[in-house]
Amino acid sequence: MSSLLFLSRTGLSAGGLLLRNGGGRYTVVSPELYSLCHKSSTKFSVRCLTGATGEHTRGSSYGRRALLAAGAAVIAGVVASFSHFQKAEMKSATPQSKANENDVLEKCRTFMSPPVTDVGTLQKNKDDIKSKMELLIMETQADVCRALAEVDGSSFKVDRWQRKEGGGGISCVLQDGRVFEKAGVNVSVVSGFLSEEAAQQMKSRGKPLKGKDGKLPFCAMGVSSVIHPKNPHIPTIHFNYRYFEIEEEDGTKQWWFGGGTDLTPTYLDNADAAHFHKTLKDACDQHNPKLYPDFKKWCDNYFFIKHRGERRGIGGIFFDDLESPSKAEVFEFVKSCAKAVVPCYIPIVKKHLNDSFTSEEKHWQQLRRGRYVEFNLIYDRGTKFGLATSGSRIESILMSLPLTARWEYMHEPHKGTKEAEILDILRNPKDWV
């Protein structure tokens, strides 16, 4: 198997990849050739051409002179070498299997990072629901990050992490951008044993979980995102789509999907709210016209800040523990919802990019963000599950919190103001489509 350390796209664009094989020879590899290399059986270690520490440098000036002198010949050799790998594989693979393999590889080339699970394993088990879900959440992460980066003009920091108990994830964060104060899009694929606290949370939702010797093996994966813009006239969006699987004492497996997309504006724009909800409704209606009204109501009830008597935002859709009519059908529904994220949000962002705002409007945005923090830390299931799971990535869990927020004692907007208008909607949800 290949042994490759992924370097972020910033590192790739700065100088490519330098691979060292078992014989101690170095080759310069483009991102495309790196992807092909990843499926080969040759063992490599990876270094970035910039960042002059490591055994290959022998002094930074020596490394640079050697690379400049040999660059053209090395690249030609790499191309020939990987052409040989491809030809050898084609001889042993049927056209159909090769097409399927290339389909997975092509998808992986568009991701922000290689998947958490080895690409070869995903290819081998491409029809398994866990493989399909991991590819979907990786694709969703990449699609959303590209759309946000295009609007903002900044790039995401790609932070790949591992969990010693099993699995890992990729956190993509854009902070202090031109448009977005903080935008995070996280993928996690984790496995292991449920903690007692996490198991109790699930049992409280009516799941009769029976573990062996007190242990419950589980596998969970999902994509989760919160986008906090700078301009108070651009709303905050949150989305999360996930798959969960638990093995019980007798070997049977419980599985379910969960997720949703919701909008939290600082100021109400009726056209924005209608566009957002209609886009989600269209995604739901592809599968069953009953889904949107049910999941819209569920969303309004779920994102309720009980101690404030108000919703976090103007809703969207939310569902959990979804396990019917079938695994394949629920997956296709989740896929449609995930594909709706960019079209339901980016047009709203572009519409308000150049809206002016006052210091008073910015002040109100900070107060509303305080409510966002309250919900996430006190009520949100995902946050509570993450904090209760051993080995969780705390930075990624708390990525949902805004960079800035504000709390004031006994603050209440004056009647008839735009601030009072949105607060009334948060206290009395309405139908938008």
- Answer whether the bond into residue 115 is a cis peptide, omega within 30°: no
Q: What is the DSSP letter of 215?
A: B
Residues 6+ apart with CB under 8 A from 329: 287
The enclosing H or E element of 222 equals strand 217-229
Active site residue 238: yes
> Burial, 279: exposed, middle or buried (Cβ in 10 Å; 0-12, 13-18, 19+)?
buried
Phi–psi pair at 231, nearest 5 degrees = -75, 125
Terminal alpha carbon distance of the chain: 52
**Catalytic annotation, pick one of 238, 275, 277, 352:** 238
- The Cβ of residue 116 has, within 10 Å, a number of other Cβ atoms equal to 22
Angle at 326 between CA 321 and CA 331, to 5 degrees: 70
Could you list the beta-strand ranges (E) of 315-384. 315-322
d(CA 308, CA 379): 12
Gap between the Cα atoms of 143 and 145, Å rounded = 6
Tell me phi and psi for residue 169, to 5 degrees: -170, 180
Q: Give me 27's structure tokens.
A: 């080759």
Residue corresponding to tokens 């029976």 = 210
CA distance 361 to 266: 8
- Count of positions (residues) in the chain: 433
Give the active site residues.
238
